[in-house]
Chains A and B, each alone.
Chain A
Amino acid sequence: MSFFMEVLIAGLLAGVMYSLVALGFVLIFKASGVLNYAQGTMALFAALSFVSFVEMGINFWVALLLTAIIMVILAFVVERVVLRPLVNQPLITLFMATIGLSFFLEGFAQALWGSQVHRLELGISDDPIFIGDIMVSQFDIFAGVTAAAMVAGLAFFFSKTKMGRALRAVADDHQAALSIGIPLRHIWVLVWVVAGFVAIVAGLLWGSRLGVQFALSLIILKAFPVLILGGFESIPGAIVGGLIIGSSEKLAEVYLGPYVGGGIENFFPYMLALAFLLIRPYGLFGEVHIERV
């Protein structure tokens, strides 16, 4: 039983890492209906910038601040160069634009910071500790706490602040938001800034686990089943979806893997997502379109 618990907890904590990526997605999707394929590359770009600053000998916190500034600049540039010219275009066009953005960022990051793999030390040991007789990774616990804090912050931002309400309003109805004087451009910049900050957190945590390298941008692929499960518009959905994906893939690997020859961990989330699409296409917490007839 304690083995089961260990696998479950390891899975849940791995799931938190998926949630971190999915969160950035949800933010931009909620506010603009755009599926931002570049979210993973943004995380990579943030982690790479941060690592490069640190390797230049810059203090940890200053490097973090500089990275944050870079993400803010990125948000402004994206709004000006990508989003503004594409206002009123079909969403699929915007989605493709973000794929382009993702490729651009990857190349730009290489041109700027080089293409070698960097090690990232956040100063959190990855040694396991024992709670009762269950072994848990300290690093995973740290990631879990960070994610929880971020979600609490975002939940407060969305439900209690004027800007948060405006973001949700824009997500619901662009036109009506315009009609009451919410400037869409500011909102878009804002949401890309917030998504950029989420990308920093995701990038640093993932980077310190896997090393900062270009495969990091592929974590985006693990975010998709999370989003399908949790619902594209829901912040709690991103968290719960991440937890379910993380724990189920680990449990499947340990308990089902031996019967099919192992390696099930890599594709199990997508199977789960596919099955979920058939039953609940809008996800666990996604917005069901309210339609009055």
Chain B
Amino acid sequence: MSDQANIILSVNNIEVIYDHVILVLKGVSLEVPEGEIVALLGANGAGKSTTLKAISNLLKAERGDTTKGSIEFQGTRVEKLNPAELVKMGVVQVMEGRHCFEHLTIEENLLTGAYTRKGGRKVINESLEMVYEYFPRLKQRRGTMAGFTSGGEQQMAAIGRALMANPTMILLDEPSMGLAPMLVEEIFEIVKKLNEQEGVSVLLAEQNTNIALAYSNYGYIMENGRVVMDGSAKELGENEDVKEFYLGMSSEGRKSFRDAKHYKRRKRWL
């Protein structure tokens, strides 16, 4: 990470507890520099989604609570704000599993994304045109009820809907979930383009380490509610442990799944 870049989001040593008893995040810290894509990697249940929800404050709706640490966005403490206030500040989360409004058309889905916008119809229509430019497929399906569109289209609608809020930062939770590899690539291409052309910073939680590292600048690897490793995407991609545990490669080339037991013992970084 270059030191001169402005840090837009910093998470300092947060702990998250669900239902007052279940400790899920045990001191997570990370930083997102302005205008970059940062990936949050790890297996199921490592705490990636919880970290994103702690930032966007959607945790409260799931009876989670950030009990320790602080979260700063553009220098302001945000861990006590509600999600609507955060959206107004420019932080929008695209939730895991798309979460489109099924009974609204694609266009209505996008328009609800502009709920917090001020400035009337003209500004909103400009954003709508911009979204349609990035996702031409959505323009074709604009009148279709979102529940009847394909998974890829729903993911696009979910990202497009977040864009309608004119965010400076998107928290993207597992965009590859349940999509065909080709579509995953298409969506990542668009995210990259958005990042480059609109300057939107992205914090990306992803299980698909391979593709996430290909499109991000920096990465954090989480395990069991902790960050266990971080580094530039290139460093992580070349790291022997990452290769072995997350990319399925080892010094002897691809390993068979039969030997998985053997790595389990070794899988300990901190």
Contacts and interface: CB of A to CB of B under 8 A. Distances in A.
Nearest to B53: A179
Given A168-B101, A290-B103, A180 B113 contact: yes
B56 A179 contact: yes
B199 interface: no
B99 A173 contact: yes
Contacts of B102: 172-173, 290
B82 A183 contact: yes
B58 A162 contact: no
Contacts of A287: 103
A174 B103 contact: no
Contacts of B158: 176
Interface string A63-95: 000000000000000000000000110000000
Interface residues of B, number: 37
Interface stretch (B144-152, B234-242, B251-259): B144-152
A173 B147 contact: no
Interface residues of A, number: 23
Given A166-B112, A178-B58, A181-B165, A172 B84 contact: no
B61 A175 contact: yes
A290 B145 contact: yes
Given A180-B115, A180-B161, A175 B88 contact: no
Given A165-B108, A182-B84, A290-B145, A173 B101 contact: yes
Given A180-B87, A181-B88, A88 B61 contact: yes
A150 interface: no
Contacts of A166: 112, 115
Interface hub of A87, A175, A176, A181 (most chain B Cβ within 10 A): A181
Contacts, number: 87
Nearest to B102: A290
A179 B112 contact: no
Contacts of B101: 168-169, 172-173, 176-177
Contacts of B250: none
A169 B92 contact: no
Contacts of A292: 147, 151
Could you say which of A173, A176, A182 has the most chain B C-beta atoms within 10 Å of its C-beta? A176
A202 B123 CA distance: 40
Contact of B112 (A87, A88, A180): A180
Interface in B68-122: 82-84, 86-88, 92-95, 99-104, 108-109, 111-113, 115-116
B133 to A, nearest CB: 20
B87 A181 contact: yes
B169 to A, nearest CB: 13
B262 interface: no
Nearest to B173: A179
B60 to A, nearest CB: 9
28 contacts: A88-B63, A166-B112, A166-B115, A168-B103, A168-B104, A168-B108, A169-B104, A169-B109, A171-B103, A175-B95, A176-B95, A176-B99, A176-B100, A176-B101, A178-B58, A178-B83, A178-B84, A179-B87, A179-B99, A179-B162, A180-B116, A180-B165, A181-B84, A181-B86, A181-B116, A182-B84, A290-B103, A292-B147
Given A175-B61, A178-B83, A292-B151, 16 more contacts: A169-B109, A169-B112, A172-B101, A172-B102, A175-B99, A177-B101, A177-B112, A178-B58, A178-B61, A178-B84, A179-B83, A179-B162, A181-B87, A181-B92, A290-B145, A290-B147
